[in-house]
Structure 1
């Protein structure tokens, strides 16, 4: 039977999620790239882009002037499955925005540490 939400594993992934969020807000492209699995199977669906493979994701980050819009995390749910897989789902609000954003990530423990293998970012309809 697989262990769900082992506190030690949740703590590991929580720290990584915090690191990701700090890097995103600081436009720390090197750290963001380091947190994604460097593989052709890695996927990121963004608000306005569809990126297949680490190379496309890295190129997108390099080309995005100013980085991600600043945001405030409203809610985060981390679920771990065993010792090597986790999901991070959060809701956010962009600075000055009225639309709730959603982000989901699948994290896998690799020989190089925890890496994001799949990510999705979307915005809900305007709530104003």
Structure 2
């Protein structure tokens, strides 16, 4: 079995976005906003590769066991991307950050205002 990343973190900008997402959708904590951001990124087809200028991981840092306790997000990612050659938790970290930034932009522009809007 491969040794995977043990921690996942937000960039400063993505953490700020996740806090606004948490407040907008009345989520329990920022980590729930991170999971929602991963799901949103997967649905929207956000690239799994980190873009240049991604930013340092200077926001909150979580053990992967807190983010993905049963490995279900990892398994989903591997099922959707069977040829993935990168650490799935690094990819999920990328999606968590990029998803939070994109979802926050959609909320800010009033394109998405509720969890119901995400289902459409």
Structure with the largest fraction of helix: 2
TM-score normalised by the shorter chain: which range applies? under 0.3
Larger Rg: 1
Higher relative contact order (CA 8 A, sep 6+): 2
Q: TM-score, normalised by structure 1?
A: 0.24
Q: TM-score, normalised by structure 2?
A: 0.25
Structure with the largest fraction of strand: 1
